[in-house]
Chain A
Amino acid sequence: MNDVVLKLDKAQLTLSGNAGALDILRGISLEVTRGESLGLVGPSGSGKSSLLMIMGGLERATSGRVMALDHDLTAMDEDALARFRRGNMGIVFQSFHLIPTMTALENVAVPLELAGAADAFDRAAAELGAMGLGSRMNHYPAQLSGGEQQRVALARAAAPRPAILLADEPTGNLDGTTGAAIMDLLFDLRDRHGATLILVTHAPELAQRCDRIIRLADGRIDAEDRPHASKVAE
């Protein structure tokens, strides 16, 4: 299967600050296929999260092209990008980024509502139930533990059944056991719904669970690896 869902062509990201222009990404070109899981690794400041943001349309590439599901993200304005993300992309952050004024259920329902789903709350409840949070639906984020908050964030990302799941160090703020449980859930989601998963992580053992690993250094692709392919070869 060679069904490309994400394609970057010489994507460049330069940020200008007081200290002058800073090149974050220096011409990244890559393709991600449907159902694939891709791990982005590399030292701090190598551009992993920026690359993820560009893939999600949260950051705009300074030059080059970013195609997602045959849409040119670089040609869209902010609102068009927002509309595109509905139902197509789910994003999980290291700091969960739940809306503090909403309960867990309401948080999960938001993207479904935005996508116009009539059964937004039923689906949100089912998703939370599947995450083992059936009894915590009406709690506000501040009333939940870090692991619970990340499970809510996962449910929120997965609820619209997006074609692409982006996760930015989803276990970075969690202990090892909780982090492992979250990763199980994430990969389980990918397996159940056939979504493409792109995962930024510092942890080599998590990256090893992905179909492909791209190592970034100084804004460039430094190396690419297919751990499972090599295992098969062995």
Chain B
Amino acid sequence: MTLGTAARFARREMRGSRSGFVVFLLCLTLGVAAIAAVGTVRAAITRSIADQGAVLLGGDVQMSFTYRFASEDERAFMEKNAARISEIVDFRSMAVVGQGDAADRALTQVKAIDGAYPLTGQVILDPPMSLDEALAPQDGIPGAVADPVLADRLGLSLGDRFRLGVKEFRLSAHLMREPDSATAGFTLGPRTILRSADLAGSGLLEPGSLFDTRYRLLLPAGTDLSQLEAKAQGALADSGMRWQDSRNGAPGMQRFVDRMGSFLVLVGLAGLAVGGVGIGAAVRSYLDGKTETIAVLKSLGASSSTIFATYLLQIAVLAAAGILGGLILGGFAPILAGPLIAARLPIPVEIGLDLRTLAEATLYGALAAALFALWPLARTRDVKAAELFRDLGPNRRNWPGWRLGAILVALALALAGSAIILSGLQRLAFGTVGGIVGALALLALAAAALRFLARRFSHRARGRPALRLALSAIGGPRQEATSVVLSLGLGLSVLAAIGQIDANLRNAIAGDLPDIAPSFFFVDIQPDQIEGFRARLAGDPEVTRVEDAPMLRAVLTRINGEDARKVAGDHWVLRGDRGLTYSALPPPNTDIVAGKWWPKGYDGPPQMSFAREEAEEMGLKLGDVVTVNVLGRDIDATITSLREVTFETAGIGFVMAMDPAALQGAPHSWIATVYADPGAEAAILRDLSNIYPNITAIRVRDAIDRVSDALTAIARATAIAAGVTLLTGLVVLIGAAAAGERARVYEAAVLKTLGATRAMILGSFALRSALMGAAAGIVAVAFGAIAGWWVMVFVMQGSYRFEALSAFVIVTGGALMTLIAGLLFALRPLSARPASVLRARD
């Protein structure tokens, strides 16, 4: 045999078969397109972050401090090395409109700037004007610009006045874009920008207030960033200074985009797996239709390998076309939708084709096509010339043989390996690949179980012809049930898992949390205000509980004299600064699990009580000495006790607590949590804000809303990716229904001959579809529950609760989708005249 012969046969064979390939092409195109589209957007954002590092960061370098301004030494270092410097103070505060009881308040994230801001990029205001113009005082009232969301919430029009602390500001413009917003991370309140100098006399930024300072540096051309960083870390060691530079201007965002992008690619892979089922079914159906041709070719002397090559070439050409279609769709759709996508991103992004992404999508597509098409292709070798005389189809073996079996296993491993290596999220990719394989296995089992049960129960359904006909069709030798359950089930499984995780997260945040979380967090309470603060709440019958604690921020820099990161790795306690409190006595309900709390009146060398779980994770034990940097000063403290600390309840939970003598002298403020009846929240906020204008109140409900919003955005992106998976599932489903139409036309004709009415036949078809869809839905829900439980318990370290509503929607949706696809293709069987159908077969 020559390949040329096979190629000639293949070309002839493909001439009249185009319509049979639609499902194959769509499945592959959709799967590749989803992966290519996600990758294209991710690559564009990554490129943008890399290209615009300095603009996103607001300078070549940013040095940040917590609760303090740069010391003289630090300032001197900056001035020596930078061409220009800009100082920014960032803190939360309450924006207030009106007076007394009629006052309206909203939390805002204030950015106080100097005249040099922004060093790079441009602030965009509405109406268009320069920042200098907007912040200039008018009639002695300094200007401020704010996010339109804040203006809306407070009913502020341009020119209206509002207060921060006890100082008045004038809203001069709406803030439409900050060049450095991508570095701000997650904030609870919308942004206000004003001049630092205008904060004088506001009562804000008192000693102990919670604020960050950020120094942006523009460096002389040719400065070596890594050398300068090393120099800074050496000169300002252990000062609590945090360094960031334009080599990675928005690390938080980059991390988020990387993770989200990889996660969505993994969801896309699930789509490709669904498509794979469709590819397998389409190839099987196409080759079933070619049985006679193959038998004739064999009877004329064609060898098995010629036949195999003939059809392999056809599938290869089709796969190339499908992948190309996917690359075009997935590569260009994000470019066409570029303006829409860019408008939703915090940084300017230009979307263009990315070759690496397209290569990755091609690899996934080719591997998936080969994996799912080869098995049915192998069956061509088993077609015998005798098929011309007798239908041997059901007796054909299903096992592809050892050699091909090994190739299939290698292809599956290559596909899984590529996903695990290329996604960059090894653990998640491993879990996803495992999940897909597990779901496919579960679905294959479910399909087999459904067919078994259908066969068993078809006897029990005697006397109910519509049901029995449906059960016979499901349990019979045709493979429709397997194909439908696999394709729809996998798509629904992805959706069910997302549904379970999303609903559980939402419940944890919005449903469970408010029951146990306080109404408010109050921050920036000055030490001389705490007694009055307690007194106001003590007499209020609506207040059920108040907890307060002094709070400082500290960076844990060393453990037993060694760099903390070298000892404890990248533990979250070591990332940035953490809250630190002091207390003479153990706070109420403290559960000390090891060691002892310091004695009352202790004023010896500093002692620390550490959270038990975090201490274990970091390898800390009683007697270890940790160095914390508090406002630029290093304190060495010995761990003398370990406590259980719960963070889930959103109360006050400090990883680190110290004896009062060690910290009392440091400037600090107090924080408080107030548990109150929701009806009394407004009055409490009003009273406390009127008495103490500098205090910032964070309503837990608002914070929850912000988290929910962020979650909604993530869930939406995921749902779109999962939607592509489901769309592929639907294509496979329609393909299966279309492939089965001929058989149904015949079945309907025979049934009519035997006395069945159209209503009964339709009922039987509908039952058959709904049963298969419901089976797919039930497996999907089971899989979703397992995946949801795994993610909630092991990834989120929370608790899992089965979400019945989401499950119900999935099962019903599955049944409905199959029903609709099935009924779409029931019209022809119902309307066909039995005589013409049956005689055509004679």
Which residues of A are at the interface with B, using a C-beta cutoff of 8 A?
49-50, 53, 56, 58-59, 78-79, 82-87, 91, 93-95, 97-102, 106, 109-111, 113-116, 118, 120-121, 140, 142-143, 146, 156, 168-169, 172
Given known contacts A99-B750, A120-B463, A83 and B842 CB-to-CB distance under 8 angstroms: no
Do the beta carbons of A85 and B842 come within 8 Å of each other?
A: no
Complex CA gap A199/B478 in Å reads 33
Do the beta carbons of B394 and A82 come within 8 Å of each other?
A: no
Complex CA gap A111/B753 in Å reads 9
Could you say which residues of chain A place their CB within 8 Å of the CB of B207? none
B598: shortest Cβ distance to chain A, in Å?
80
Could you say which residues of chain B place their CB within 8 Å of the CB of A49? 839, 842
Q: Which chain A residue lies CB-closest to B755?
A: A86
Interface residues of B in 805-837 (CB under 8 A from A): 833-835
Do the beta carbons of A168 and B756 come within 8 Å of each other?
A: no
Interface residues of B in 397-451 (CB under 8 A from A): none
Q: Which chain B residue lies CB-closest to A116?
A: B463
10 nearest CB pairs, A to B:
A101-B476, A86-B755, A58-B835, A59-B835, A79-B757, A53-B835, A111-B754, A113-B465, A114-B755, A85-B755
Do the beta carbons of B755 and A93 come within 8 Å of each other?
A: no
Could you say which residues of chain B place their CB within 8 Å of the CB of A111? 754-755
- Tell me if B379 counts as interface (CB < 8 A to partner A): no
B737: shortest Cβ distance to chain A, in Å?
15
Complex CA gap A82/B754 in Å reads 7
Complex A-B: 6 CB contacts under 8 Å: A58-B838, A94-B842, A100-B743, A114-B755, A118-B463, A140-B476
Complex CA gap A225/B840 in Å reads 30
Q: Which of B459, B754, B833 contacts A85 (CB 8 A)?
A: B754
Could you say which residues of chain A place their CB within 8 Å of the CB of B462? 109, 113, 120-121
Do the beta carbons of A100 and B755 come within 8 Å of each other?
A: no
Do the beta carbons of B755 and A115 come within 8 Å of each other?
A: yes
B285: shortest Cβ distance to chain A, in Å?
15
Complex CA gap A94/B469 in Å reads 24
Do the beta carbons of A101 and B477 come within 8 Å of each other?
A: yes
Do the beta carbons of A83 and B841 come within 8 Å of each other?
A: no
- Tell me if B393 counts as interface (CB < 8 A to partner A): yes
Do the beta carbons of A110 and B839 come within 8 Å of each other?
A: no
B476: shortest Cβ distance to chain A, in Å?
3
- Tell me if B752 counts as interface (CB < 8 A to partner A): yes
Do the beta carbons of B391 and A114 come within 8 Å of each other?
A: no
Do the beta carbons of A97 and B756 come within 8 Å of each other?
A: no
Do the beta carbons of B753 and A100 come within 8 Å of each other?
A: no
Do the beta carbons of B394 and A168 come within 8 Å of each other?
A: no
Could you say which residues of chain B place their CB within 8 Å of the CB of A97? 746, 749-750, 753, 838, 841
Could you say which residues of chain A place their CB within 8 Å of the CB of B747? 99, 101
Could you say which residues of chain B place their CB within 8 Å of the CB of A86? 754-755
Which residues of B are at the interface with A, using a C-beta cutoff of 8 A?
390-391, 393-395, 458-459, 462-463, 465, 468-469, 472-473, 475-478, 743, 746-747, 749-760, 833-835, 838-839, 841-842
8 further A-B pairs in the complex, CB-CB below 8 A; given A84-B755, A110-B465: A85-B753, A86-B755, A97-B746, A114-B751, A114-B754, A121-B462, A146-B390, A156-B754
Do the beta carbons of B839 and A53 come within 8 Å of each other?
A: yes
Q: Which chain B residue lies CB-closest to A143?
A: B394
Could you say which residues of chain A place their CB within 8 Å of the CB of B835? 50, 53, 58-59
Q: Which chain A residue lies CB-closest to B475?
A: A101
B454: shortest Cβ distance to chain A, in Å?
10
Complex CA gap A134/B476 in Å reads 20
B183: shortest Cβ distance to chain A, in Å?
64
Complex CA gap A98/B743 in Å reads 12
Do the beta carbons of A95 and B841 come within 8 Å of each other?
A: yes
Q: Which of A78, A116, A140 contacts B752 (CB 8 A)?
A: A78
Do the beta carbons of A91 and B756 come within 8 Å of each other?
A: no
B656: shortest Cβ distance to chain A, in Å?
70
Could you say which residues of chain B place their CB within 8 Å of the CB of A172? 842
Given known contacts A100-B743, A106-B458, A113-B465, A140 and B477 CB-to-CB distance under 8 angstroms: yes
Complex CA gap A72/B230 in Å reads 102
Do the beta carbons of A79 and B759 come within 8 Å of each other?
A: yes
Complex CA gap A79/B762 in Å reads 12
Q: Which chain B residue lies CB-closest to A98?
A: B750
- Most chain-B Cβ atoms within 10 A of its Cβ — which of A59, A79, A98, A121? A79
Could you say which residues of chain B place their CB within 8 Å of the CB of A113? 462-463, 465, 468
Do the beta carbons of B838 and A93 come within 8 Å of each other?
A: yes
Could you say which residues of chain B place their CB within 8 Å of the CB of A140? 394, 476-477
Could you say which residues of chain B place their CB within 8 Å of the CB of A85? 753-755
- Most chain-A Cβ atoms within 10 A of its Cβ — which of B477, B750, B751? B750
Q: Which chain A residue lies CB-closest to B760?
A: A114
Given known contacts A49-B839, A106-B472, A83 and B755 CB-to-CB distance under 8 angstroms: yes
Could you say which residues of chain A place their CB within 8 Å of the CB of B759? 79
Could you say which residues of chain B place their CB within 8 Å of the CB of A94? 842
Given known contacts A58-B834, A109-B462, A168 and B477 CB-to-CB distance under 8 angstroms: no
Could you say which residues of chain A place their CB within 8 Å of the CB of B459? 121
Given known contacts A49-B839, A79-B758, A93-B838, A100 and B465 CB-to-CB distance under 8 angstroms: no
Could you say which residues of chain B place their CB within 8 Å of the CB of A102? 472, 476
Q: Which of B472, B478, B753, B760 contacts A58 (CB 8 A)?
A: B753
Could you say which residues of chain A place their CB within 8 Å of the CB of B753? 56, 58, 85, 91, 97
A140: shortest Cβ distance to chain B, in Å?
5
A208: shortest Cβ distance to chain B, in Å?
23
Could you say which residues of chain A place their CB within 8 Å of the CB of B394? 140, 142-143
Complex CA gap A156/B754 in Å reads 9
A8: shortest Cβ distance to chain B, in Å?
16
Complex CA gap A207/B609 in Å reads 106
Do the beta carbons of A101 and B833 come within 8 Å of each other?
A: no
Given known contacts A95-B842, A168-B842, A83 and B757 CB-to-CB distance under 8 angstroms: yes
B546: shortest Cβ distance to chain A, in Å?
72
Do the beta carbons of B391 and A142 come within 8 Å of each other?
A: yes
Could you say which residues of chain A place their CB within 8 Å of the CB of B838? 58, 93, 95, 97
Could you say which residues of chain A place their CB within 8 Å of the CB of B475? 101
Q: Which chain A residue lies CB-closest to B455?
A: A103
Complex CA gap A49/B839 in Å reads 9
A24: shortest Cβ distance to chain B, in Å?
11
B827: shortest Cβ distance to chain A, in Å?
14
Could you say which residues of chain B place their CB within 8 Å of the CB of A99? 472, 747, 750-751
Could you say which residues of chain B place their CB within 8 Å of the CB of A95? 838, 841-842
Complex CA gap A95/B835 in Å reads 13
- Most chain-B Cβ atoms within 10 A of its Cβ — which of A106, A111, A116, A168? A106
A55: shortest Cβ distance to chain B, in Å?
11
Q: Which chain B residue lies CB-closest to A93?
A: B838
Could you say which residues of chain A place their CB within 8 Å of the CB of B746? 97
A219: shortest Cβ distance to chain B, in Å?
16
Could you say which residues of chain B place their CB within 8 Å of the CB of A83? 755, 757
Q: Which chain A residue lies CB-closest to B754?
A: A111
Could you say which residues of chain A place their CB within 8 Å of the CB of B477? 100-101, 140, 142
Q: Which chain A residue lies CB-closest to B747?
A: A99
Complex CA gap A93/B754 in Å reads 12
